[in-house]
Amino acid sequence: MKIHSWLGGLLLLQSASASFSQQPLPSPIPPSQSQQVQPKPEDVDVVRITTNLVQVDAIVTDSRGKVVTDLKPDEVEIFEDGHKQKITNFSYYVAESATTANESQPPVKPDKNAPFVPPTRLKPEDVRRTIALVVDDLGLSFESTYYVRRALKKFVDEQMQPGDLVAIIRTSGGMGALQQFTSDKRQLYAAIDRVKFYMNGRSGIGAFDAIQPPTPGEQGAAIDAANEEFNQFREDMFAVGTLGAVSYVVKGLKDLPGRKSILLVSDGFRIYNVDDPSRNYLALQKLQRLIDEAGRASVVIYTMNATGLQTLGFTAADDLSGRDTNQLEQALSDRRNRAFETQEGLDYLARQTGGLAIRNTNDLSGWIRRVLEDQKGYYLIGYRPDVSTFDPRTGRRTFHKLSLKVTRPGKFTVRMRNGFYGVTDVERRAPQTLAQQMMSALTSPFGATGVHLQLTSLFANDVKAGSYMRSVLHIDAHDLTFTDAPNNMHRSVFDVVAITFGDNGTIVDQPTGKTYTIQVPDDLYKRALRDGFVYYVTVPIKKPGAYQLRMSLRDSATERIGSASQFIEVPDLKKNRLALSGLVLRGLNPAAVKTNTNAAATDQSEGIDNESAEASPVVRHFRHGMLLNYALFVYNARLDKTTAKPNLTAQVLLFRDGKAVFTGKVQPVDATNQTDMKRLIAGGALQMGTDLSAGEYALEVVVTDALADEKHRTAVQWMDFEIVK
């Protein structure tokens, strides 16, 4: 049997050598029927700016704040620069699905004792809402950070719904932020863990700086004034940084599906000064461009002031010595003005992009729910603009203001984008180079499908090598271009790029790219068309944490691009807590469990291999009746002081669409004849029942250490696979 060194020497176990085993699967519980979702019209969520159509989205609420959904075209008037336009397109789109119609009900708290449910991989057509929760740690105080973390955790636990594509992004993070969009709660929890007070930001311990006594001496006033000017300049720079991070997220959201929104959580930023209205803040200039970008990307920006309810009076942190009554009154006035000024920046951004500005509340999680409810539906309204709107001589510099008026009797509030620059979407969308196309494929939450790829990434630890991530990329050879070469050979050329991202999208290793030219004889060419090729990548892991490997491949002849990604959590084994390696799955026919059909197409040291297994650990496509073999390492099991043996049990669960369709018996893990008690091998086999319907599944292994403390007694690992006919 050929051994692949995926997990530091872990054998791809056959059922005969398993440490624990299960009986063949019985007929599974039939999965519940999926709810019918309203068909999505073509480009229904696209805000378009062209020379012959301006289309915007709007939310209308009545005097009680209730969303109005039954307006007629003759009850609405739209204006550009104060001039009424003839409406040519008018519709109301319901963004929520029937499965989430009860979102207004109180959320159900998660059961901490319930088994971990592996996430379902979202396809673009499955996405209902795309939500970016942008945490402005550049402008978040120490006090606010605590409440923001708690609200984010509650959102993931109780408010996130099936069909939500979510990212939690810090404004201090790297420009790999788009890697964070996911439906996998593990990734979101990892992002929340990294939301911490940023000491070098523009905020301090509290929402407002403590009042300090004036600097004594004749030059004291001048010194204080100079310090205030410097602090305002510093705040300006950080505010521009915040808006730059939001702008980057907006650009990435442009091509994503679903109802798209950003919730910016911040202590605020200033765009003007009450005492000096003539002061030109850099943030105000950046805001105008950001508002235009958000409108063109169909992104609604909501803002939430994380400072909560503030008294704005004196606090115990204030040092009031050295000030007379007038100076104290001025200090309070300055504090109130600052609260107003910093809030106005958030208000302006939300107001001009059609969102809500949330302020003066300590219930951050409750208002996150309110933002989600606001995304349930919206009007799409279009009109044909005048030729002068896109006049090439003035259009690029002119900001055309938009407004909407409801003529139905009553009081209504309209939230929509406030305007656009006279530049069409086509003019703004510059053609991408091939390098940019590959990078776009890498940053997308969905794999590019010009070349079909499947990525398997596994964490493991070795005595000598330490922790590492072993990844295998399967390439569908049908998507590669082969040309005939001499001596009955077949030749193909393609490029591969691999990048590993850490916290908040930061790159942890230098992006590696390589061009491959492969030549295979006719028999291996036919086998490659049947089984595909495999590309290997090994990345050493120096510290524990959350990682993503993203890979992109381009066929040189056709310039078709494919991409794939996988999320890996690397535990800290130095803490001596129970942990698991990645889970290897392999399928074999019962009559051929001792047959190994893997064969190499080229030297593995060059990164390319041919995979011809019956159901390889890379592709993981299994058929009815197959034996599904699974194996992993168990790290840091506690040993009995008397017998020097572990006391481990394991249980296998099978999930389909987020629901358990099979729950195996709890079985002991046999450590007999194993020499390294820090790295125990465990595995087993399941037989795919004939009643299992074709589709995507996830196999979960739960390992429990009876000798460990209760908090760290259980570890879970899972891997997805597909049953095919």
Q: Which pLDDT value is given to residue 631? A: 93
Pairwise CA distance, residues 175 & 510, whole Å = 14
Quick one: which H or E segment has residue 79?
strand 76-80
Range of lowest pLDDT (47-61, 69-83, 167-181, 393-407) = 167-181
Tell me the mean pLDDT in the region 582-592.
81
Pairwise CA distance, residues 171 & 134, whole Å = 7
Question: Quick one: what percent of the chain has pLDDT higher than 70?
Answer: 70
Identify whether residues 68 and 159 lie together within a single domain: no
Q: Which sign does the torsion angle of CA 658, 664, 667, 669 carry?
A: negative
Whether 99 shows a pLDDT value over 60: the answer reads no
Show which of 391, 423, 455 is a domain's final residue: 423
Q: Which residue has the tokens 């003005």?
A: 337
Tell me the mean pLDDT in the region 434-462.
79
Taking CA atoms, 641 is separated from 134, 433, 647, 648, in Å, by 50, 63, 11, 15
Residue ranges of alpha helices (H) inside 44-200 are 142-154, 185-193
Whether 165 shows a pLDDT value over 70: the answer reads yes
**Model pLDDT for residues 227-237, shown as the tens digit of each residue:** 565 555 556 66
**Model pLDDT for residues 83-98, shown as the tens digit of each residue:** 999 999 898 887 654 3
* 428 falls within a domain: no
Q: Which pLDDT value is given to residue 665? A: 92
CA angle 721, 652, 447 (to 5 degrees): 25
Phi and psi torsions of 304, nearest 5°: -135, 120
Q: Which residue has the tokens 């079909």?
A: 452
Phi and psi torsions of 587, nearest 5°: -115, 135
Show which of 366, 399, 423 is a domain's final residue: 423
Q: Which pLDDT value is given to residue 160? A: 84
Range of lowest pLDDT (8-22, 34-48, 127-141, 575-589) = 8-22
Q: Are 446 and 506 spatial neighbours (Cβ–Cβ below 8 Å)?
A: no
Range of lowest pLDDT (33-47, 478-492, 500-514, 553-567) = 33-47
Range of lowest pLDDT (43-52, 143-152, 363-372, 706-715) = 43-52
* 44 falls within a domain: no
The confidence band for 38, taking pLDDT boundaries of 50, 70 and 90, is very low
Tell me the mean pLDDT in the region 169-189.
70
Domain count, the chain: 3
Tell me the mean pLDDT in the region 459-483.
90
CA atoms within 13 A on the CB side of 397: 3
* 277 falls within a domain: yes
Q: Are 700 and 716 spatial neighbours (Cβ–Cβ below 8 Å)?
A: yes
Q: Which pLDDT value is given to residue 40? A: 45
Whether 649 shows a pLDDT value over 90: the answer reads yes
CATH number at residue 184: 3.40.50.410
* 2 falls within a domain: no
CA angle 114, 117, 120 (to 5 degrees): 160
Whether 46 shows a pLDDT value over 90: the answer reads no
Give the closest residue to 137 by CA, choosing from 503, 547, 509, 546.
503
Q: Which residue has the tokens 């006090």?
A: 143
The answer for residues whose C-beta is within 8 angstroms of residue 709's C-beta and 6 or more apart is none
Beta-bridge partner residues of 617: none
CATH number at residue 407: 2.60.40
Pairwise CA distance, residues 239 & 257, whole Å = 29
Residue 438, SS3 per DSSP: helix
Identify whether residues 521 and 571 lie together within a single domain: yes
Pairwise CA distance, residues 301 & 374, whole Å = 12
Tell me the mean pLDDT in the region 55-67.
87
Q: Are 475 and 530 spatial neighbours (Cβ–Cβ below 8 Å)?
A: no
Higher pLDDT, 356 or 96: 356
Whether 127 shows a pLDDT value over 50: the answer reads yes
Question: Quick one: what percent of the chain has pLDDT higher than 90?
Answer: 20
Q: Are 28 and 89 spatial neighbours (Cβ–Cβ below 8 Å)?
A: no
Tell me the mean pLDDT in the region 74-82.
94
Higher pLDDT, 507 or 682: 682
Whether 77 shows a pLDDT value over 80: the answer reads yes
Question: What single-letter amino acid sits at 230?
Answer: F
Pairwise CA distance, residues 606 & 637, whole Å = 37
Identify whether residues 343 and 474 lie together within a single domain: no
Whether 283 shows a pLDDT value over 50: the answer reads yes
**Model pLDDT for residues 681-721, shown as the tens digit of each residue:** 999 988 888 888 888 899 999 999 999 998 889 999 999 89
Give me the domain span that covers residue 301.
Answer: 100-375
Q: Are 274 and 337 spatial neighbours (Cβ–Cβ below 8 Å)?
A: yes
Neighbours of 30 (CB within 10 A): 10
Identify whether residues 247 and 338 lie together within a single domain: yes
The confidence band for 103, taking pLDDT boundaries of 50, 70 and 90, is very low
Tell me the mean pLDDT in the region 337-349.
77
Whether 591 shows a pLDDT value over 80: the answer reads no
Identify whether residues 174 and 137 lie together within a single domain: yes
Identify whether residues 392 and 498 lie together within a single domain: no
Residue 249, SS3 per DSSP: helix
Q: Which pLDDT value is given to residue 627? A: 87
Q: Which pLDDT value is given to residue 704? A: 95
Q: Which pLDDT value is given to residue 573? A: 92
* 300 falls within a domain: yes
Identify whether residues 461 and 563 lie together within a single domain: yes
Pairwise CA distance, residues 270 & 200, whole Å = 18
Identify whether residues 386 and 507 lie together within a single domain: no
Identify whether residues 613 and 479 lie together within a single domain: yes
Tell me the mean pLDDT in the region 354-369.
80
Identify whether residues 382 and 526 lie together within a single domain: no
Pairwise CA distance, residues 570 & 458, whole Å = 10
Range of lowest pLDDT (345-354, 490-499, 586-595) = 586-595
Higher pLDDT, 14 or 168: 168
In this structure, are strands 413-416 and 453-462 parallel, antiparallel, or unpaired? unpaired
Higher pLDDT, 386 or 174: 386
Number of DSSP helices (H) and strands (E) in the chain, helices first: 9, 33
Q: Which pLDDT value is given to residue 246? A: 84
Identify whether residues 359 and 465 lie together within a single domain: no
Q: Which pLDDT value is given to residue 79? A: 95
* 1 falls within a domain: no
Residue ranges of alpha helices (H) inside 473-610 are 522-531
Whether 273 shows a pLDDT value over 70: the answer reads no
Show which of 357, 389, 423 is a domain's final residue: 423
Q: Which pLDDT value is given to residue 316? A: 55
* 45 falls within a domain: no
* 43 falls within a domain: no
Q: Are 601 and 609 spatial neighbours (Cβ–Cβ below 8 Å)?
A: yes
Pairwise CA distance, residues 453 & 441, whole Å = 12
Q: Tell me the two tokens of residue 419.
A: 């305007």
Q: State which of 320-324, 359-363, 443-447, 639-643 shows the largest mean pLDDT.
A: 639-643
Whether 559 shows a pLDDT value over 70: the answer reads yes
Tell me the mean pLDDT in the region 259-278.
74
pTM: 0.66
Identify whether residues 360 and 443 lie together within a single domain: no
Q: Which pLDDT value is given to residue 191? A: 80
Higher pLDDT, 172 or 629: 629
Helix axes 282-296, 325-353, angle to 10 degrees: 20
CA dihedral 382, 383, 388, 394 (to 10 degrees): -10
Kindly report the average pLDDT of the chain as a whole number: 76
